């Protein structure tokens, strides 16, 4: 990939016989997929989504341009969908793309570097950071909210946390 890309969803499985797929969006709003049609797969293949609709579970149902049967659509199952980062909208203050938080250093209230963000997770009940703590084998987790996260500084590559909220 020559440009920075962000994963925005996963093609979960085919639907029906005419080449439609179900997509699990990673965006804050499934409308993103209705308003956009150009995506990339992890191997840099460009695809165009057509006939995008949002179902009752906030998943996207769409066709992939040029693919019109279930057999051909099967090869897209479990593929991640990416967009160019520079095509994403600018965020408001205190909003972050998950991708920007990964690899940031973690500091506690005493300004001690205690680890690094390994992953950002959202299972529907809130957002969590997985943290590789310095000098420990285990991964810790912390909820990403105003109580546990004191500040985020993307430009200087760090997050300051309230260490009391770490789950080991």
pLDDT, tens digit (0-9, with 9 covering 90-100), for 26-84: 887 889 998 889 999 999 999 999 999 999 988 999 999 999 888 999 999 999 999 98
CA 57, distance to chain mean position in Å, is 18
Cα-trace Rg, the chain: 19
- Between CA 65 and CA 56 the distance in angstroms is 24
* pLDDT score at 147: 95
Rounded to the nearest 5°, which phi and psi values hold at 69?
-150, 160
Name the β-bridge partners of 23.
11, 60
- Between CA 104 and CA 36 the distance in angstroms is 29
Reading the block at residue 119, the tokens are: 């992953």
Query: Looking at per-residue confidence, does 2 or 57 come out higher?
Result: 57
pLDDT digits (tens, 9 = 90+) for 94-136: 888 888 899 999 999 999 999 999 999 987 778 999 999 998 8
């Amino acid at each position: 990939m020559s440009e920075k890309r962000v994963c925005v969803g996963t093609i979960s499985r085919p639907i029906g016989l005419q080449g439609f797929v179900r997509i699990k969006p990673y965006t804050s709003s499934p409308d993103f997929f209705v308003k956009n049609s150009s995506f990339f797969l992890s191997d840099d293949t460009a695809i165009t989504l057509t006939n995008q609709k949002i179902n009752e579970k906030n998943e996207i149902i769409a066709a992939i341009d040029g693919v019109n049967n279930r057999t051909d659509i099967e090869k897209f199952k479990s593929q991640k969908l990416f967009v160019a980062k520079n095509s994403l909208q600018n965020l408001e203050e205190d909003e972050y793309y998950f991708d920007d938080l990964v690899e940031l250093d973690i500091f506690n209230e005493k300004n001690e570097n205690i680890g690094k963000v390994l992953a950002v997770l959202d299972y529907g009940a809130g957002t969590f950071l997985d943290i590789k703590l310095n000098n420990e084998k285990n991964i810790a987790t912390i909820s990403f909210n105003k109580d546990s996260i004191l500040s985020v500084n993307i430009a200087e590559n760090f997050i300051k946390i309230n260490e009391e909220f770490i789950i080991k």
